[in-house]
Amino acid sequence: MIVAPLRSAPTPSFLARISAGQIGGVILLGNGWTSQLQVSATIAQLQQVACRRGDPLLIGVDQEGGVVRRFPWAPPTVAASEMSSTAIARSQASGAAAALRQVGVGIDFAPVSDTISTPRAFLGSRSFGSDPTLVAARAAAFVQGLQTGGVAATAKHFPGLGSAVANTDQYPVTIDRSRAFLTARLAPFRAAIAAGAQLVMVSNASYPALDPTGVQAVFSHAIVTGLLRDTLGFGGVVVTDSLSATSVADVADQPAKALAAGVDLLLYGTTSASATGYATLVHDAARSATVRSELAAAIARVKALKAWLAAHGGEATCT
């Protein structure tokens, strides 16, 4: 369940944590991944260590296009806002899938499925636009392009960050919109799910109209289980946005709270936070049958994702 960040070649301590089973996935962050050979060799090294335990890692990257493009040598070559048709969105995603598959990446943390709802939205060109119907069509096409190519797509940031003017990685954000307003902008997530998206990433913002407690979406049972799983019918893997983000970093017992909400993968933006998250999860699971039960359900969904990747030629196999 623990997704740890990697910005360059893995250190011996990072590899030791993989060997000990303390890391289940890796997200490649930063702008240092300048060549296919470098990425391919790094992922091969990571998987070699993981496969000694018989359980491959999930390897993911934020390859949206535009300003969020970790691999400069791989599509998408344009930002979401520049994908002016479903055909272009599908083609850009198909190109991305081919490039990611070639180096051993199985998950793209894309497409951004948020609908821009204010000119001041921090997402800017990362979104397909301000019309939920248009965003829905292009998000679904992007999902199809990725997954036809064997790379799992991730619709993000549920239930929508199109109204946020501040980045949740750096600031606490509350989306003070009505339930009707927010529900109308779920259309792209519905479309992505209908297109078969294997993952949905939940945002670090809070949505009082959807959960009056004001808790952030990643810790909200009402949003993750009630809305995403029960109402929208999503049965795949739910991943957090970065739990190292300023908006959620100080929340106690993050792993158990995310599990209770219905989350499966815990994503961290710093190595130290991922180690703390693992230790906290082990501690809580040892003391709570409820946490162990929720953990088992999450692990089953993660295994289903690995099976999907293996069936579609992805990297989640040990040979």
Write the burial class of residue 289 (CB in 10 Å: 0-12 exposed, 13-18 middle, 19+ buried): exposed
Give me 315's structure tokens.
Answer: 């990297």
* pLDDT computed for residue 75 by the predictor: 98
State how far the Cα of 256 lies from the Cα of 271, in Å rounded to an integer: 19
- Total residue length of the chain: 319
Q: Is the pLDDT of residue 304 over 80?
A: yes
* pLDDT computed for residue 43 by the predictor: 97
State how far the Cα of 209 lies from the Cα of 105, in Å rounded to an integer: 37
Mean pLDDT value of segment 286-315 = 93
Q: Is the pLDDT of residue 315 over 90?
A: no
CA-CA distances (angstroms) from residue 87 to 138, 187, 197, 208, 279?
A: 8, 19, 18, 37, 45
Q: Is the pLDDT of residue 120 over 90?
A: yes
8-state DSSP, 108: E
Mean pLDDT value of segment 197-219 = 97
8-state DSSP, 270: S
Q: Is the pLDDT of residue 308 over 70?
A: yes
What is the separation of C-alpha 27 from the centre of its chain, rounded to a whole number of angstroms? 9
Neighbours of 290 (CB within 10 A): 13
Residue 213 pLDDT level (bands cut at 50, 70, 90): very high
Give me 207's structure tokens.
Answer: 């949505």
- Tens digit of pLDDT for each residue in 232-242? 999 999 999 99
Contact 111, 199 (CB under 8 A): no
Which pairing describes strands 266-267 and 2-6: parallel, antiparallel, or unpaired?
Answer: parallel
Q: Is the pLDDT of residue 183 over 70?
A: yes
* pLDDT computed for residue 316 by the predictor: 61
Residues 6+ apart with CB under 8 A from 120: 165
- Tens digit of pLDDT for each residue in 217-234? 999 999 999 999 999 999
* pLDDT computed for residue 318 by the predictor: 80
Mean pLDDT value of segment 168-182 = 95
Contact 61, 81 (CB under 8 A): no
Mean pLDDT value of segment 24-28 = 97
Mean pLDDT value of segment 136-142 = 98
* pLDDT computed for residue 313 by the predictor: 78
> What fold, for 2-311?
TIM Barrel (3.20.20)
Give me 130's structure tokens.
Answer: 């301000």
Q: Is the pLDDT of residue 1 over 70?
A: yes
Query: Which position has the token pair 């004001």?
Result: 214
Mean pLDDT value of segment 189-194 = 98
Q: Is the pLDDT of residue 314 over 70?
A: no
Helix (H, G, I), strand (E, B) or coil at 25: strand
Question: Of all residues in the chain, what percent carry a pLDDT higher than 70?
Answer: 99
Contact 91, 105 (CB under 8 A): no
Q: Is the pLDDT of residue 264 over 90?
A: yes
Query: Which position has the token pair 């961290």?
Result: 268
Domain definitions of the chain by residue range:
2-311
Mean pLDDT value of segment 107-118 = 97
Return phi, psi of residue 160, to 5°: 130, 130
- Answer positive or negative: Cα dihedral of 141, 160, 62, 101: negative
Mean pLDDT value of segment 282-301 = 96
What does the mean pLDDT of the chain come to?
96
- Tens digit of pLDDT for each residue in 33-73? 999 999 999 999 999 999 999 999 999 999 999 999 999 99
